[in-house]
Structure 1
Amino acid sequence: MTGLIICEKPNVAKKIAEALGKPKKKSHNSVPYYELERNGESIVVASAVGHLYTLQEKTKTKFGDYPVYDINWVPASTLDEKKYIQKYIDALKKVSKDANKFYVATDWDIEGELIGYHALNFSCGQKNAHRLRFSSLTKKEILKAYENPNEIDFGLVDAGDSRHKIDWYFGINVSRALMQAVSSVKRWKTLSTGRVQGPALAFLVDKELEIRNFVPTPYWVLEALLDNDLIAVHELEKFWDEEQANKAYEKVKGQKQATVSDVKKSMKTIPPNPPFDLGALQREAHNMFRFSPKKTQEVAQKLYEKGYCSYPRTSSQKLPDDKAYMDEVLKNLSKNKNYKPYIETILNENRKPISGKKDDPAHPAVHAVDVPKEKLPDDELKLYELIARRTIALYWDNAKREYSKINLDINGETFKLSGSRTVEEGWHEIYYYTKFDEVELPELKKNDVINVNNINFEAKETKPPKRYTMASIIKELEKRKLGTKATRADILEKLTKRGYVIEDGSLTVTDLGIGVTETLRKYCPEIVEETLTRDLEDKLELIQDKKIKKEEVIQETKDKLTKILGEFRLKEKEIGTELVDKLDSTNRSLQIIGKCKCGGDMIIIRTKGKKRFVGCSNYPDCEVTFPLPQKGRIKVLNEVCEKCQNPVIGLDRIKICVNPDCSTRISEEDKKEIEKAEKEEKICPKCGNKLLIKKGPYGVFRGCENYPKCKYTEKLNGESNEKEIVGKCPKCGSDLYKRKGRFGEFIGCSNYPKCRHTEKIDKKKEDTPGETKAETKKEAKPKTTKKAAPKKTATKTTKTTAKKTATKKTTTKKATAKKTAEK
């Protein structure tokens, strides 16, 4: 008897084969498969490579024909970009000929069930098989699944088949209608929308229009600047009445003292963050590493396939109930010396993990299952660490935080000081990614008197609501029940790819995105209404539960879509004209960065070689051009340089004038330094080659001629840009650097963010060169430090930019059983 196990990916097939025995690797047309013996049975383990089959029209229709519903499943290799898939289909056909027992071991979800069934049915000619279900690729989980197989869930297969067909009907037909509308007015543009894409773009458009139409409301704030750089705010926080604000200001203006009228302290315990579901993992990875949701999903899938984390496409916030399994996982993770002390305590004290509210019948929460056995790429390592530390922290103690509120009386007006500090770090010492604001207040009691150094009175305006980010949009899609955990990342990528949305730290909807949504709302509003897609999702669940037949839902969808598109076709030219107007507006806004002195538009031009520069729209009459940095994200700011009146652009996180000779780019001091530097030849201290004078978006500098092999740079005055090492970190032993922050220079650990140790630089008593406070300090534990806010100047009814910003900090503790922080 020969059993054939069908997997979803080649590397999963390898993991399963190795778990079941000692496999021999074979291949067919360079596609690997594995043969082994187990309990007297011959086993072949082969794989698909994702979806082997795709939907396609039975008879090719010409452009502009819609609606089209006559489709069937065909090999994905019929698509030019997926011709390689045919080799996998052929390999499955070959190995299935000698098999008389079949197992499907694809991912355990709707897509996985459909991939497995298609491979079984279309490639192997079988209608049913045993089903292996597992949530991680550990040997124990694979053996358990093999020894206790289920049957194929045809409810899942039908739900997957229906979802693909309905999404094809919406996506292809409505997208064709949009493009045909544009074509009807003699233009061309690839446009798309879909069952979920339309409603998702619609609520992004609503947010964008809310921001554009926002009317600010004036208000006033009153602050007292105290000793130790503390800032107390008036108890009202915001004055909405100018007269009331002025009266309060007149009362406290010129006052030099504040009296403590009340002191309140409270202690709060903060439990660990719940386990990751996919959405939470995507949000956290975006916040910490700026990974897009799609990138996080792809990297997590790689970690799963390598056997280092559990299956990522899950809605659960609960770890597996199987204690023996989780104990084995923890033992695996303890091979990492950084995790070992925590895990020993967890196992010795028989600790239990915390859980979140959400559950998923198919898979537990995302968790680490083993330590990497090879060096991981940087992105995989970052995400692995995030998952592993979150997993271990679930078992650890609550953090304890003290919150202080002090009321001050300044000539009859009440001001308040707020502070917070970590008393017991608890789980935060393991999962240090969560930010805690640390604002320590001095020990004060009632009737104490504090010096008032200045009173700051500012007129401000309310700000428009914030745009969604890649992190917050995932949460919003979940909340609105749009898309699935597996498809939401792809939806966002499509919106960006089509030019409907620009991702530049936040999601800005373009005029084209607004135009498409407003056009659909005007002529076929059902396409962008959330109720339609939610209703379909509910019916897909009923198909999955075998409560209704898929044919009923598919036919109902066809009937609705035919009616919608029939009305659309009647107004094709009107729709096309509106779309073209928005398309032209979007193209202009994306390329125009400002005005040329000749009156033309300064636009970003890209050459065939993908080089970019700024040129005038009146070329060849005007030949003004400016070079642009070839790396970095450019943002149109619609700002003009005060010095030379040329456009200012955003480059990553800085603003620069496009004119490289502008004094804002090269100061007078730099010009003098350049003259001196050109007369002096300097040698690179790192590699011995010459140092050349170079210009960059951040100014003029000397750089090694051996770049990029040698990346040494220094300022024109000879000051090196290399970070200054001033000692060793007392917490982790890494180098300590002098760093510059928003509040000035400080000493920080080079192992940030894993180690967040910081120290103030003592200006009065300089440390010995090469030695830091940490090295001269006698205390065994480093003292928690705090950052102070910048001082403000008091000006009545004028805006100032200085704000007190709470800064993240951590206390430090040993990685053993729970300990309290030093007070």
Structure 2
Amino acid sequence: MVALIICEKPSVAKKIAEALGKPKKKSIYSVPYYELERDGKKILAASAVGHLFTLVEKKEGKFGEYPVFDIDWVPASIEEGKKYVENYIKALKKLSKEADEFYVATDWDIEGELIGYHALYYCCGKTNAKRMRFSSLTKKEIIKAYENPDTIDFGLVDAGDSRHKVDWYFGINVSRALMEAIRAVKRWKTMSTGRVQGPALAFLVDRELEIKKFVPKPYWVISALLDNLNAIHEKEKFWDEKEANHVYEKIKDIKEGIVVGVKKRKKKIKPNPPFDLGTLQREAHSIYKFSPKKTQDIAQRLYERGIVSYPRSSSQKLPKDRKYLEDVLSIIKNHPNYGKYAERILNENLKPIEGKKDDPAHPAIHIVDIPKEKLPEEEEKIYDLIARRTLAAFWDDAEREYCNVTIDIGGEKFKLNGSRTVKEGWHEIYHFTRFDEVELPPLKKNEKIKVEKINIERKETKPPKRYTVASIIKELEARKLGTKATRAEIIDKLISRGYVVEDGSLKVTDLGIAVIETLKKFCPEIIDEKMTRDLEEKLELIQNGKIKKDEVLNEAENKLKEILSKFKEKEKEIGKELVSKIDSTNKKLKTIGKCKCGGDLVIIRTKNSRFVGCTNYPECNVTYSLPKKGRIKVLNETCESCGLPVIGIDGQKLCINPECPSKMPKENIEDLKESISNGEKTCPKCGGKLVVKNGIYGAFLGCENYPKCKYTEKIKKEVEVVGKCPKCGGDLVKRRGKYGEFIGCSNYPKCKYIEKIKK
């Protein structure tokens, strides 16, 4: 008896084989697979590499022709850069010939079911198999899934097949329609939109236009400076200037206030629920500025390592099986950082908190094992985030005290608000959640307080905020657009196509606005959220066996035919509008600021490099080099130190001037040069001398034998220690933040103690 287990990826095949026995690694067509024996049965564990098959037109028609609906599944090896897929298909075909029994062990979701079924059907020629279902790649879970197999869920297979086909119909046909409109006015640009991409861009454009049309409204704020405390008038915002000035004139010279009310209340704050994928993506972006796609990919790698559970989950509930949780906690008990928490949970039989969201297939994302080797830095960060969130779900409530003080100054009431943590609780473990610590002095009712100054300030209302890559995930989820697995990819596509620029928030470009305004004008149905949601609901009905997939596909086809026939009639008109916006967008995306000669400083890309140059070249030959790697963002900001443009590279703001004083004061560089020349610091790679050089990131050490030797070394900046932290005993150091220099604890983010620098 020979059993073939079909896995989703080679790393998972290895993990499953090792859990079931002592496998021998073999290969066929340069593709690895594993052979082992279990209970007298020979087992072969082989894998796909994600989707082995892709959709294409059955008959290739005229270039750019649309609409097209006659499509079929073919080997994905036809796609550029996927030639290797061919060998995986051949390997599964060959191995299937010696198998009597088949198991599908791909990921337990729509995509996994489709990947497994395609491999089974197209490679092995079978229409059914035993189905292993698991939420983590621990030995126990794998054995349990192997010994208690399910059957293939054909509702999931049909839902996956339909989703791919409907997405192909919309993505290919509407993208072709846009490109053909541009071609109709003798231009060319690759354009794309899709079933979810269009509605997602539409609500981003709505927000962008709201911001552009926003008219600020003035208001006045009156505050009182009380011995380094800032109290705000109880009215907070005065919309009438005369009223604000009247109050200010009445109290501006008063030097003493009276405390007329002190209210204190304590509040218990429950732990955050365990992570679903969307919340993990938002948290990783907030803390580490990781994109949702990056977080999803890292979490997937951790799952494949067998140390966290399946990440594409929409559940905020840990498994109900107490024995399972105890087994996991018994492993985590041996972790140097988390062991003490796991031990207390076990000893005191603590129960985890749950969130509202659920997932029929998978529990919330949680740790299941300790890494066997040191993880790469980014994987370590996500593992730590998941581990702390998992353990904190079992922990005590945090307790916070809020203090509200009312002060009478000349008959006008002012408010002082303070807050402090009185019991860390779960915050001791999951310290990433930020609490404002505003300690007020012990003020009592009827106590007099010195008023140093009364201020009046004119302010303006702010436009609504743009979405960030984190908040748009939440918005897509709330609007039921896309799936937990596809939302990150949708955002990436909007950015890569130039519809949106990510510079801390998602700013829609002229091109993005043009695409949506054009579609709204000529075929609004394409970006209609309701149509997308209706389709999503019908795909769920297919999954539950309540509707046939052909019914949904025919409906999508008929809708698109109707929409695109109207589009075709206005091709040239649409093309003209799009081309004018493409040109203005391209200019904005390249221009970073002004040159001293009056020209524009623009980003120039050549085959092997990129740099900043002046548009008045050759009359002006000013240039600034740029790093070869890293995503560049135009910030439209200038450097406070030298006045030259500042750009963003991978989330870091950088002045383009390598000689900028902000990068390292001149006297420091001279001292460094002298100390290095005296110390004869040598290159560890070739033995040459290390010399001080300047680059976009500031001063650094480089080998004198460059470009033959490219060794570089960062210059470590000395940290100025100014005292000890009164909260945790760590060093207090000088830091620089958004609002200038301040003193903070060196144990941040675990300890968030800060204080102002006294002038």
TM-score range, shorter chain: over 0.9
Q: Distance in 2 between matches of 1:472 and 1:193?
A: 21
Please give the secondary structure, in 2, of the residue aligned with 1:397.
coil
Aligned to 1:379: 378
Instruction: State the partner residue of 2:164.
Output: 164
Q: Tell me the equivalent position of 1:762.
A: none
Quote the Cα distance in structure 1 between the aligned partners of 2:250 and 2:233. Answer: 12
SS in structure 2 at match of 1:561: helix
1:738 lines up with 2:733 in the alignment: yes
**Distance (whole Å) between structure 2 residues aligned to residue 518 and residue 651 of structure 1:** 29
Letter in 1 for 2:172: I
Whether the 8 Å contact between 2:722 and 2:734 is mirrored in structure 1 is no
Q: Is residue 683–residue 690 contact of structure 1 (8 Å, CA) maintained in 2?
A: no
Of 617, 620, 628, the match for 1:619 = 617
Q: CA deviation at 1:628?
A: 4.2
Mapped partners of 1:398, 1:640: distance in 2: 46
Return the alpha-carbon distance in structure 1 between the equivalents of residues 640 and 429 of structure 2: 49
User: Do the aligned residues in 2 keep the contact of 1:440 with 1:786 (CA within 8 Å)?
Assistant: no
1:623 alignment partner AA: C
Q: Structure 1: which 5+ runs fail to align?
A: 714-719, 758-784, 792-823
Deviation of the 1:33 alpha carbon: 1.2
Q: 1:684 to 1:399 in 2, by over 3 A?
A: farther
Answer whether contact 2:659 2:694 (CA < 8 A) is retained: no
Q: Deviations over 1:373-422 (max 9, x none)?
A: 11111111110010011111111000000000000011111110001000
What is the CA distance between 1:32 and its match in structure 2? 1.3
Question: For residues 196-215 of structure 1, what are the structure 2 equivalents within 5 Å?
Answer: 196-215=196-215
State the distance in 2 between where 1:432 and 1:277 align.
19
Instruction: State the shift of 1:602 in Å.
Output: 3.4
SS in 1 for 2:62: coil
Distance 1:740 1:665, change over 3 A: closer
Residue 318 (structure 1) aligned with residue 286 (structure 2): no
Aligned to 2:751: 756
- Give the 3 Å change call, closer, same or farther, for CA 339–680 of structure 1 in structure 2: closer
Q: In structure 2, what residue type is equivalent to 1:559?
A: N
**Cα pair 1:277 1:312 within 8 Å, conserved:** yes
> Would the aligned equivalents of 2:221 and 2:233 in 1 still touch at CA under 8 Å?
yes
Contact kept in structure 2, 1:198 and 1:517, CA below 8 Å: yes
> Which residue in the other structure is 1:722 paired with?
718
2:359 is aligned with 1:360: yes
Q: Deviations over 1:85-113 (max 9, x none)?
A: 11111111111101111111111110000
How far apart are residue 705 of structure 1 and its match? 5.2
The residue identity in structure 2 corresponding to 1:746 is I
Q: Which residue of 2 aligns with 1:538?
A: 537
- Picking from 735, 742, 755, the partner of 1:787 is 755
Q: Secondary structure at the match of 1:66?
A: coil
- Matches of 1:36 and 1:661, distance apart in 2: 63
| CA-CA distance at 1:335 after TM superposition | 1.3
How far apart are residue 39 of structure 1 and its match? 1.6
SS in 1 for 2:244: helix
Aligned equivalents of 1:223, 1:373: Cα separation in 2:
57
* Alignment-derived partner of residue 402 in structure 1: 401
1:711 aligned to which of 695, 706, 713: 713
CA distance in 1, matches of 2:681, 2:357: 55
**Distance of 1:534 and 1:680 partners within structure 2:** 66
Partners of 2:174 and 2:617 in 1: how far apart? 40
Once the two structures are TM-superposed, the CA of residue 789 in structure 1 deviates from its matched residue by 8.7
Q: 1:194: Cα distance to partner?
A: 0.4
Identity of aligned residues (%): 63
Distance between the aligned counterparts of 1:678 and 1:322, measured in 2?
64
Instruction: Give yes or no for the alignment of 1:12 onto 2:18.
Output: no
Q: Counterpart in 1 of 2:82?
A: 82
Q: Is the 8 A contact 1:202 1:528 kept in 2?
A: yes
Whole-angstrom distance in 2 between the partners of 1:656 and 1:53: 44
* Cα distance, 1:711 vs structure 2: 3.4
Cα distance change on mapping 1:673 and 1:756 into 2, 3 Å:
closer
One-letter code of the match for 1:722? E
Q: 1:685 to 1:326 in 2, by over 3 A?
A: farther
Distance 1:247 1:726 in 2: 45
- Gaps of at least 5 residues in structure 2 are none
In 2: Cα distance, 1:349 partner to 1:534 partner: 46
Q: How many corresponding residue pairs?
A: 747
Structure 2: distance between partners of 1:148 and 1:517: 50
Paired amino acid for 1:365: A
TM-score (norm 1): 0.86
- In the alignment, the residues of structure 2 paired with residue 386 and residue 723 of structure 1 have an alpha-carbon distance, to the nearest angstrom, of 27
Does structure 2 retain, via aligned residues, the 8 Å contact 1:438–1:786?
A: no
State the distance in 2 between where 1:606 and 1:327 align: 56
CA contact (8 A) 2:610 2:626 kept: no
Q: Distance in 2 between matches of 1:427 and 1:304?
A: 25
Instruction: Confirm or deny: 8 A CA contact 2:120 2:126 kept in the other structure.
Output: yes
Aligned residue number for residue 338 of structure 1? 337
Alpha-carbon shift at residue 257 of structure 1 (Å): 1.3
1:474 — aligned with what? 473
- Seen in structure 2, the aligned counterparts of structure 1 residues 282 and 460 have a Cα distance that, compared at 3 Å, is same
Distance across 1 between alignment mates of 2:45 and 2:663 = 65
CA displacement, residues 38-84 of structure 1 (integer Å, 9 cap, x when unaligned)? 12222111111100011011111222210111110001011231110
Residue 331 to residue 727, structure 1, CA distance change in 2 (3 Å): farther
Q: Could you tell me which amino acid in structure 1 is paired with residue 733 of structure 2?
A: K
What are the within-5 Å matches in structure 2 for residues 521-600 of structure 1?
A: 521-595=520-594, 600=599
**Aligned equivalents of 1:673, 1:537: Cα separation in 2:** 61
Question: Secondary structure of the equivalent of 1:711?
Answer: strand
CA contact (8 A) 2:498 2:512 kept: yes
Does the C-alpha gap of structure 1 residues 698 and 459 become closer, same or farther in structure 2, counting only changes over 3 Å? farther
1:137–1:651 distance in 2 versus 1, CA, 3 Å: closer
| 1:443 counterpart = 2:442 | yes
SS in 1 for 2:501: strand
Matched, 1:186 2:195: no
1:570-589 superposed Cα distances (whole Å, 9 cap, x missing partner): 11111111100110010111
| CA distance 1:260–1:685, shift in 2 (3 Å) | farther
Separation in structure 2 between the aligned mates of residue 728 and residue 438 of structure 1, nearest angstrom: 18
Structure-1 separation of matches of 2:215 and 2:380: 45
3-state SS of the aligned residue for 1:314? Answer: coil
Q: 1:143: Cα distance to partner? A: 1.3
**What SS does the corresponding residue of 2:431 show, helix, strand or coil?**
coil
Contact 2:254/2:409 (<8 A) preserved = yes
What residue is the counterpart of 1:803 in the other structure? none
CA drift at 1:623: 2.5
TM-score with structure 2 setting the length: 0.93
- C-alpha separation in 2, matches of 1:596 and 1:147: 70
Give 1:457 shift: 1.3
Q: Deviations over 1:707-759 (max 9, x none)?
A: 9856364xxxxxx83335789999999x846332457453633x543x427xx
SS at match of 1:34: strand
Q: Deviations over 1:113-151 (max 9, x none)?
A: 000000000000000011111101111111111111111
Cα 1:316–1:661 change in 2 (3 A) is: closer
Contact 1:191 1:498 in 2 (8 A): yes
Q: Deviations over 1:523-580 (max 9, x none)?
A: 1100111011101001111111111111111011111101111111111111111100
1:683 aligned onto 2:683: no
Amino acid corresponding to residue 755 of structure 2 in structure 1: K
Task: Measure the CA separation in 2 of the matches of 1:264 and 1:250.
Answer: 29
